[in-house]
């Protein structure tokens, strides 16, 4: 995965580092947190003080992960997060291709004189690190961290805790292997992770069977009242206002996976989720097959991502955002037509 010359350089940086900061993106998902913790734990086994810095809060269903005590949330412990970044000899940037994705941390990332390494699978990464390891064909950064640790670290480093974090990363970013996972190597990696005695069924349950009653009722409300199906375009979307979220006592992470709900409707190829935030409408897009949601996100929503998973923002009202979204669909009708 890592070119020989780059590998030598990175090995040298790691060997000379005493303190490492691992940064990941805002609204962190399972891949972001799992990959970051796995790398921090691996570095820790080499005697390095490795800490994970998260821009904002993480979902409850990820708080049980091994190594979570190594994480600091910038939004809640700003001074400590800044201290970690400013004191680092080496900084890893995981699962984001643009420094804007770390929000308030961006300023301190740019100011740091530490060597910086990007490990990411999103398309078109910006050049803001000294080394960039980018593989857009990967379903998750978790796979990349697995290979990185195997290639860069001397001796056996992966253990049950690290394997658990990596499995969560891969499982969540592929929808439990329902997309972005149609290649043999990902299953070879997962097969090897099983050799570390990870508890696969318990991991699944801890992530997907640990929701609150409010979250489940919110999901039901989305399906009953908020899902709009446009069969002529093989498209469906869900929208949620701030008032609706408050009605169901919304907590961070509660809408995780909602964008995939409409795929259970026969014939749906393109889905969207619009969630009202304080100053914007957050848009999430998913697709099946070759429909490029990353282009929709970049051309119309100031965002980007992968061909089948992308996101962005709208700065219009919810009503205007939804009307605008529906008005785009005729222009994509050929791409969304039956195969």
DSSP characters for 3-18?
-HHHHHHHHHHHHH-S
Quickly state the pLDDT bin for 286 (edges 50, 70, 90): very high
The predicted model gives 195-204 an average pLDDT of 98
**Residue 289, helix vs strand vs coil:** coil
The CATH architecture one would assign to domain 4-208 is Alpha-Beta Complex (3.90)
State which H helix or E strand residue 239 sits in.
strand 235-240
CATH of 213-336, one of 3.40.1080.10, 3.40.50.720, 3.40.710.10, 3.10.310.30: 3.10.310.30
pLDDT tens across 225-239, in order?
A: 999 999 999 999 999
Ramachandran assignment for 234, one of left (phi > 0), alpha (psi -120 to 50 degrees), beta (any other): left
Length of the chain: 339
Average pLDDT of the chain to the nearest whole number: 96
The predicted model gives 34-50 an average pLDDT of 98
pLDDT of residue 339: 59
The predicted model gives 317-322 an average pLDDT of 98
pLDDT tens across 117-152, in order?
A: 999 999 889 999 999 999 999 999 999 999 999 999
Question: Which residue in the block uniquely carries the two structure tokens 């008005």?
Answer: 327
Q: For the chain, what are the domain ranges?
A: 4-208, 213-336
Measured at the CA of 334, the angle between CA 329 and CA 339, to 5 degrees, comes to 120
pLDDT higher than threshold 70 for residue 338: no
pLDDT of residue 198: 98
pLDDT of residue 116: 99
């Amino acid at each position: 995965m890592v070119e020989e010359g780059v590998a030598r350089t990175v090995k040298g940086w790691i060997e000379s580092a005493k303190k490492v900061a691992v940064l990941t993106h805002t609204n962190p998902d399972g891949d972001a947190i799992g990959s970051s913790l796995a790398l921090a734990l691996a570095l820790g086994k080499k005697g390095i003080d490795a800490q994970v810095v998260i821009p904002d809060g993480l979902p409850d269903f990820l708080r049980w992960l091994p190594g979570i005590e190594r994480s600091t949330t910038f939004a809640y412990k700003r001074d400590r997060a800044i201290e970690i970044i400013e004191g680092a000899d080496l900084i890893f940037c995981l699962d984001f291709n643009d420094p804007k994705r770390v929000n308030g941390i961006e300023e301190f990332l740019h100011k740091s004189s530490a060597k910086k390494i990007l490990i990411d699978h999103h398309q078109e990464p910006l050049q803001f690190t000294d080394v960039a390891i980018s593989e857009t064909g990967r379903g998750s950064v978790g796979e990349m961290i697995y290979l990185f640790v195997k290639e860069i670290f001397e001796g056996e480093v992966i253990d049950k805790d690290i394997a658990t974090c990596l499995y969560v990363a891969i499982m969540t970013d592929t929808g439990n292997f329902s997309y972005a996972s149609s290649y043999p190597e990902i299953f070879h990696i997962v097969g090897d992770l099983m050799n570390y005695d990870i508890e696969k069924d318990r991991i699944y349950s801890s992530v997907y069977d640990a929701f609150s009653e409010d979250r489940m009722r919110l999901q039901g409300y989305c399906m009953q009242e908020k899902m709009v199906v446009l069969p002529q375009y093989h498209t469906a979307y869900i929208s949620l206002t701030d008032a609706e979220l408050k009605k169901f006592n919304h907590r961070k992470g509660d809408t995780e996976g909602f964008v995939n709900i409409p795929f259970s409707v026969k014939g749906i190829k393109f889905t969207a989720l619009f969630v009202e935030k304080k100053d914007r409408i957050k848009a999430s897009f998913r697709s099946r097959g070759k429909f490029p949601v990353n282009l929709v996100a970049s051309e119309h929503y100031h965002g980007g991502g992968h061909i089948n998973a992308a996101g962005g923002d709208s700065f219009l009202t919810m009503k205007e955002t939804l009307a605008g979204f529906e008005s785009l669909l005729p222009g994509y009708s050929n791409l969304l037509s039956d195969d």
